[in-house]
Structures are given as C-alpha cells and as structure tokens.
Chain A
C-alpha cells in the first residue's frame, strides 16, 4: 500500500518491434497483439494495472504490496515502484481504512501468504561483539571455521550429519511446483544440507535429487505410509508452524492436479484439508506415544523431529524432550506459509529470538540440552541472523521464505492463488516453465553457502573456531525490547 507505481509510457513503447516482446513471455502471447506488451498487467499478482485505451496503467495503487514483479518482468524497464512514507494518521491510517472497506464489502477476513510483516523485535536488534585483546579474533582468510553439525543423535541410529546448520524448511509439493521442489532439493544437496517434504507427500524427483530429505508428518497425513516414512532421513512431526499456529491447512482443489493427487493419495481436484491439530495428539502423553509409534515404524533408524509454532514454548519443548524427540524445532511468528489469515500471522505467536532463548532454557531445565538438538525457524535471512540464532541457543536453523527468494520469489504474498508468476507456488504448466530448476538449484546452494560464510565471519571475529561455539554472552542488544526478550545485555553494558 505505501507504494507509488509509475509506468513511463515512452520507455514502455521502446521495444515494441519484436514479437513475443516480454522477457517472461506474455501469458496471452499472440503475435497479432504483440505490438503491445502486457507483461506488467499480466504479471502483477494484485491487479494494480488496468488496460485503458490499449495501454496498461497502474491504476489501483492501493493494492500494491511492493513485490516489484512488474518492474522485474518489464522488457523495457519502464516501471518504477517507490516506497512512500506511511500515512501518519495513527489509528485511522489509510491502510486501516482500506482494510475496513475491504471487509465491509467482502464480509471475509484477509487471507494471504508469508508471515508477520509488521515490525517486531528481530535479529537485527542484536549485534555480535568483536574480540580484540581480551580474547583474540580469528583470521577469516587464513584460519578455518567449522560449520558441520550433527543433529538428532539422541536415539536415532542415523542422525543428520550436515555441512552447514542451514536447513531448508517444510514446504509441500502441491503448495509448491515440482520444479520448485526440485530446485530446493538440488540446492540442499549442493550445500550439503537437508530439505523437507512438507506435508504433501514425497515427490520421487525430490527424493532422487536430495541427498538428505526430512519426511514431514502433519495433521492431514497426506501421502503418508510406512514406505514414505522409511524413505526419509528424518521424520518431522509438525504440530504447528509459526505463521499460523494452531490453524489447519487447506490446499484448494484447483492446485490438486493429477500429479499432486497421486503423491498425496487423494482424489484429483479435491480440497486437501489439514485439521488444526493431529487428531491423535491432544495432550503431552499423546505426543510421546506418537514419537514411539513413528520410531516403531522406522525401526529407530532416523531422528524424530517435533516442530512447534512458538507459543507456550517452554512447556511444549519440555514435553517433546521428555517424550523422546531427537530434534525440536521452534518456529517463531515471523515464519511463513502459503496461505493463512492475516490476523493470525500478525497477532499470534512469539518472535523467533525470544522463542529460541525460551526453548534453550527449557531444555536445560529438564537436563536434556546435550541430548536434544534445537532448530530455530522464522524470519532467518542472512548469515547474521544465523550466527545470532545459534548464539542464542539453536543448533541449526530452517530457512524457507528466504530459500524461495533465492529461486525467484518476490514475496507477493499470493501463493495460495496458484498463479505464481515465478513458477514457484503454482501447478500451472506454462508458469512452471518459467522456473529453470537446475539453475535455481545452484542459486539455493550459493545462497546457503554465502550466508554460512557470513556467519563464520561473525563467529571468527568473536574469537570462535566453530559456528556452534559462539555464545549468547558474545551478543549485545541494541533495543530494550530485544534485551528483555532474550536476556542479552544492552550494548555497552556487558562484562
């Protein structure tokens, strides 16, 4: 909403002499009308553009979310999208008025993708303090920094051995295209890490391309069988996800193509409903029994992961740890989703940085910190976020939205419509063709490698030799909020 979209009509007409004018192939490709380009109109996920007298105009500016897909896909670079300052009318700002109007016309709450978008305390509110002479910094260019991690060696015969603590989080086939799943699988293998099936069953190509793959076990139980679980390198029981804690899922029938229905083992075109909770996990002893049940099926071979949305973190983490989990994931409120109510994303949950600290403390309290691995998720974007998450107590992190951005996502927040312009969150073949999964697979690996490297720099300049050795005591907070949430002292206030 706080964006100003400008289309320069002169630049727009610059390249009209070639058929199939758009870089991304106009969705209505018709050589007769290719004298005019409608890439911006066709590719805007939010209906900002309208055709007026044969030319596209950014008429519905209030619908713009700043994804800049139009700009990226304009063959003539004729578009600018500029952020403009927020309307300073406090409680009754323009966005509030637009939203009330929308509700009064549609009588429905707002559905969108991604996660919490408003300002909440996050990793940027912390800094890593550099070592000087009280302890020496290490030389990034000459001295090594370890990044390998082993997760889930509590009971599992075959724990996850990763080259970097950056793992790819759960996103289902069905929500994502096959090409997107394949790109993530390739990227995870190249980076020496693990990816996750999500709750939509296991795509054979994904299994083939991923060196390590976590089989997710969610409330809808789509595509679940003994074979499915035993093909995974770990099994993740998804209790909740940060973006929509305590909500079920709903994959619209439109996205349930023949292939999706085969993998999920549900009828083609049928909506795929996930209940808000596992029908058989209602209390702590149920979770403990579920862990045992899945272990019996997988013969105690692979780690059992329990993933929580961050709410009553300490209680939940203690229960999972006592119930026998090998790995626990806490997904903060910045975690993303393909579809969920805006009100839940923005107003339910606990910020990631607070959840990590609470989970770490809870594991220490039940004396299982050295047995159970802790994974942090929700809003991790960079090596700095990674280093800080590990310093706060995590053993590894999940990236998901960030991984999608590395393969072209522009966070337009419309995954659920199934018309993703980048071929990521769609089952439409013509859109899927836009995604070169081999190239994008390399991008995923490049991104993970670069962020791991970034984290190493921070770790080494704090005087540590391994990414998992950075301590919470090497952090300082820049805001009171972050300091109180994490127990990290304010900058300039440490010992």
Chain B
C-alpha cells in the first residue's frame, strides 16, 4: 500500500518541514487516496517531561469532559485545543506533564477505555498528524504547512487489508521507546509470526495493521540494544513480503527495503538535505537535481543528524 516520504535537514535547524512534506506527499497522492499522515520531528518545543496527546473524540454530549477528567485524574492538562475534522468526531489536542515516559502508555490505555474515544498519538519530540482524505485537505485542516521541524516522514495510504479510518492512517508509533514512528509501503506476510512473540513480551497491539507490527518490532530491537541500523538489517531478515518503510526517531530517519526489492524507493542528497520517497516525482519537490539513487533490494540506510 501507499506512498512514503522522508526528509532530513542536515544543519539540524528548524525548517519548513510541514510545508516540504506536504508538497512531497501531494505528489504521491495517486499511490494512496484513502488517508495521509505526517510525523514532523524537532519543532514541538516541549520540555523533557512534557507530552502532547491527540485524541479522537466523538461529537457527543459531555464526552470531552469525561476525557478531560480522565486525564486530569493522572496529571493536570496544561493547555488544550479542539481541531475540527470530518465525520462525527473531532480531535482534542492537549499538553500534559509526566515524570516518567513509562507512564504515557498506561494513561493512553486509560483514556482509550472510554467508549467512542481513541488516542491517536502521544509524543514529545514530534508532531503527528494523520487523517482520512487527501493530503491537501489534511494539510489545510491541521495547518501542517506551518509546522517546523528538523526532519519528517509522511505517508499516503491505499488500504489493503485493514480499515480506512484515522486510526489506521500512518504513521504508526510505539510507546515502548520514546518518539519512534514509521511509515510503510507494502505488506508483511508473516505478520502473525512477528506479532505473536512481541505480544508475549508485553507489546500491546491496537490494530491488525502490519505497519503497527513493524514499529513494535523496531522499538523492541532498539530497546534490546540494537542500533537503528542493526534493527533495520535484522528486520530485512525477519519480515516476509514486499515492503519498504521509513522509520523516524528524534535523531533522524532510516529506511529498509525487502530482499526481493518489490516496493520502490529512491533517494537524493544535496548540501542541505537528504530526502527519500517512493517516487522521484516526490523528491523533485525538495531537490533540484537529477542525481537520484535507487534503493537496492534488501538495502537499509540510516540518516541521523
């Protein structure tokens, strides 16, 4: 499924990542009409103990108060806003403080128990935007073009075997390791064989989407001491099926492609940026060069700043 893109600004400064990524994804719209999403890193301005939650709440009398109460019971809401969306729900965004990163997932699980409420993400170093509809609609809906960042990944989704909704849009993230997210093009055909051992280790899966499985897998490897590059290399051995995916951490991005090279990926580098995408048409939005490199079957690549 889908189109994927990633960009890293080499000088580590904040750039118009939201703007650039919107253009890149717009060019990949034909690869995925169902939904789109972003993870834009480095520009949230949050402190070490601060987190952002994005929660999908159904339009329903007093439901938002219930959500707010549930959060306030754990930690006081510092700041919040409501972002209108399509369908019968809206996005509630709020800022909270937590002493430990490990308290984040329990809080999210707690909020998730409320009917008609889904936590879309909780993060510190990146801004996650994902929704159903076209790239440009979503960019407008969330003012994505104004979001600054040091690096970003993005996705346009053509659903294969799981549902089309906001929650199943990419990126997917994990709460095992802080601020790791992934976008993915392809399928993991040994999904259950990868998922089962992770679940037995305590990873909690929220969907049946194979991309969610990927992010848990990588997080698990990072948590067990693998470097990002090693984790990606191991994933090429362990994952079956056609895929190419981009993983993002606060330090940068990495890409991996299956051994038969069944899903596309091209990259380009200039003095200022490193960019990666499903198709050249997307790279051309940010790179003015004909120097495009193909990512080879089984290749992994990490670009950290």
Contacts and interface: CB of A to CB of B under 8 A. Distances in A.
A and B touch in the complex (CB under 8 A): yes
Interface of A: 282-285, 288-289, 292, 312, 315, 318-319, 322-323
A310 B128 CA distance: 38
A17 B33 CA distance: 76
Contacts of A283: 1-2, 158, 160, 185-187, 242, 262-263
B30 A315 contact: no
Given A289-B30, A322-B33, A282 B160 contact: no
Contacts of A284: 1, 158-160
Contacts of B33: 322
Contacts of A285: 1-3, 30-32, 158, 185
Contacts of A323: 158
Contacts of B187: 283
Interface of B: 1-3, 30-34, 158-161, 185-187, 242, 262-263
Contacts of A288: 30-31, 158
23 contacts: A282-B242, A282-B263, A283-B158, A283-B160, A283-B186, A283-B187, A283-B263, A284-B158, A284-B160, A285-B1, A285-B2, A285-B3, A285-B31, A285-B185, A288-B30, A288-B31, A289-B31, A292-B30, A319-B158, A319-B159, A322-B33, A322-B34, A322-B158
Given A282-B263, A283-B160, A288-B31, 8 more contacts: A283-B1, A283-B185, A283-B187, A284-B159, A288-B30, A289-B30, A312-B161, A319-B160
Contacts of B1: 283-285
B158 A282 contact: no
B171 to A, nearest CB: 18
B89 to A, nearest CB: 20
A318 B161 CA distance: 9
Q: Which 5 A-B pairs have the closest CB atoms?
A: A285-B31, A284-B158, A282-B262, A315-B161, A285-B158
A285 B32 CA distance: 7
A48 to B, nearest CB: 43
A159 B262 CA distance: 34
B263 A315 contact: no
Nearest to B162: A315
Contacts of B158: 283-285, 288, 319, 322-323
Contacts of B161: 312, 315
Nearest to B260: A282
Nearest to A287: B158
Nearest to A292: B30
A149 to B, nearest CB: 29
Contacts of A318: 159
Contacts of B2: 283, 285
Contacts of B32: 285
Nearest to B278: A285
Nearest to B261: A282
Contacts of A315: 160-161
B36 to A, nearest CB: 13
A100 B1 CA distance: 42
Q: Taking each of A282, A283, A292, A312, which has the highest tally of chain B beta carbons within 10 Å of its own beta carbon?
A: A283
Q: Taking each of A285, A289, A318, which has the highest tally of chain B beta carbons within 10 Å of its own beta carbon?
A: A285
B168 to A, nearest CB: 13
Nearest to A277: B262
B209 to A, nearest CB: 13
A289 B31 CA distance: 8
B136 to A, nearest CB: 18
A358 to B, nearest CB: 13
